[in-house]
């Protein structure tokens, strides 16, 4: 059933197969793709960055940043940015699969 859902997302067979190795993230990605883009003026209170091993780093508004220690051999297979607990950006290598941040005129 998951393969059918990922095909409906117009992902390549390689990406669909890749995501099957991470079913929890695959489901989060599918659900986030159904949501609208974030509001132009939206400023998240909490930003957290994850990969397949877990939390990489985060920031709580004006209260500071944090990061997790990582073994140098643990290469990230994907990167997921969560804004206030919602998936905002997800990419594999240089291929962006989800970007809910609206483009701003004059910046692109």
What's phi and psi for 14, nearest 5 deg? -60, -45
Enter the pTM of the model: 0.83
User: What is the residue-averaged pLDDT of the chain?
Assistant: 87
Q: What share of the chain is helix, strand, coil (3-state, %, to 5)?
A: 25, 30, 45
Tens-place pLDDT, residues 40-54: 989 999 999 999 999
8 Å CB contact between 49 and 58: yes
State mean pLDDT over 78-97: 95
Instruction: Tell me which residue of 26, 25, 29, 24 sits closest to 3, measured CA to CA.
Output: 26
Residue 108 has pLDDT above 80, yes or no: no
46-51/95-99 β-pairing = unpaired
Residue 13 has pLDDT above 90, yes or no: no
Instruction: Tell me which residue of 34, 84, 97 sits closest to 58, measured CA to CA.
Output: 84
Residue 89 has pLDDT above 90, yes or no: yes
């Amino acid at each position: 059933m998951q393969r059918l859902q990922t095909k409906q997302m117009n992902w390549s067979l390689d990406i669909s197969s890749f995501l099957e190795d991470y079913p929890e993230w695959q489901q989060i990605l599918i659900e986030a793709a159904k949501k609208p883009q974030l509001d132009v003026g939206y400023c998240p209170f909490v930003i957290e960055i994850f990969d397949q091993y877990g939390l990489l780093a985060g920031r709580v508004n004006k209260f500071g940043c944090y990061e997790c220690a990582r073994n140098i051999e643990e290469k990230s297979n994907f990167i997921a940015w969560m804004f206030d607990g919602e998936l905002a950006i997800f990419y594999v290598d240089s291929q962006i699969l989800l970007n809910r941040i609206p483009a701003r005129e004059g910046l692109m």
